[in-house]
Amino acid sequence: MTSAARLLLLAAGVAALVALAGCSANESTGDADLVAGKKLFVQKCGSCHVLGRAGTKGVVGPNLDNAFANPVAEGFGESAIRGMIGNMIDIGSADREMLPDLVTDDDARDVSAYVAQSVAKPGEDEGLLATAVQAEGSDKPAAAENGTLTIPADPNGQLLFVNSAATAPPGQLTIVMPNESGVPHNIAIDGKGESPIVDQGESEFSASYQPGVYEYVCLVEGHEAAGMVGQLTVK
């Protein structure tokens, strides 16, 4: 199913939940931890969904800012939208791309609250939320040592490699991708190979390289398009 079709499905779901908002969306769910909610959203949901304030760029699932633009413009408050998000977490998506109960209990409450106060709103997070999730990207290139080049996936769940550039001498090279995020990733170079997809642990592949410039990417759907790419210079 295309991203556009998924967006239409979600929009239809939002419309249905809007109709129910008066009887279900304003239930008290207790106090929420917005910082925890942002961290969980980035880790559990950001690989599929765009949410501007969270800095997530997933392209597999619907863009949440677009999907909730109308309810926000029509004046639905955070309580109602929080209820809609909570219901969506409970039931999953109609196409089963998002399974029910991806997060549960207090975690679901925190994610719902964070998304509700962030979705379809301009600007950036402030205060503790601004530093709740920081991309681990580094301007310093990763450098091969003793025939091994280590390029970690972002440990916070962002769709990035820690190093967007790398260097290595010509010859046989093993590229290792540590992944602590819980989000499935791999690393691949066209014509050289690809590592297995893992959501925890390390993934690697080996090949021989001549001098030149090579692009490395994550092949999980949507991750390359979201920016999980880098450049390896062999010289």
Average the pLDDT over 10-24 and give the result: 45
Residues 118 and 199 in one domain: no
Give the least confident one: 48-62, 104-118, 183-197.
48-62
pLDDT grade for 14, boundaries at 50, 70 and 90: low
Band of residue 22 on the pLDDT scale cut at 50, 70, 90: very low
Answer yes or no: do 116 and 161 share one domain.
no
- What pTM does this model have? 0.77
- Give me the percent of the chain exceeding a pLDDT of 90: 73
pLDDT band at 13 (very low <50, low <70, confident <90, very high): low
Distance in angstroms (rounded) separating the CA atoms of residues 145 and 168: 8
Lowest mean pLDDT among 7-11, 32-36, 128-132, 137-141: 7-11
Supply the angle between the helices 78-91 and 105-118 in degrees, to the nearest 10.
130
**163 assigned to some structural domain:** yes
How sure is the predictor about 171, in pLDDT bands with cuts at 50, 70 and 90? Answer: very high
In a domain, 64, yes or no: yes
Counted domains in the chain: 2
Res 24 pLDDT > 60: no
30 and 113 both lie in a single domain:
yes
Instruction: Give residue 78's domain range.
Output: 3-131
Asked if residue 57 and residue 99 are part of one domain, the reply reads yes
Domain for residue 136, yes or no?
A: no
Q: Please write the tens of the pLDDT for every residue from 79-96.
A: 999 999 999 999 887 666
Strand partners, 56: 51
pLDDT level of residue 216 (50, 70, 90 thresholds): very high
Q: What is the CATH number of the domain that holds 66?
A: 1.10.760.10
Are 37 and 125 contained in the same domain? yes
Query: Which is more confident, 179 or 98?
Result: 179
Q: What is the pLDDT of residues 95-139, one digit of tens each?
A: 667 778 889 999 999 999 999 999 999 999 999 999 999 877 777
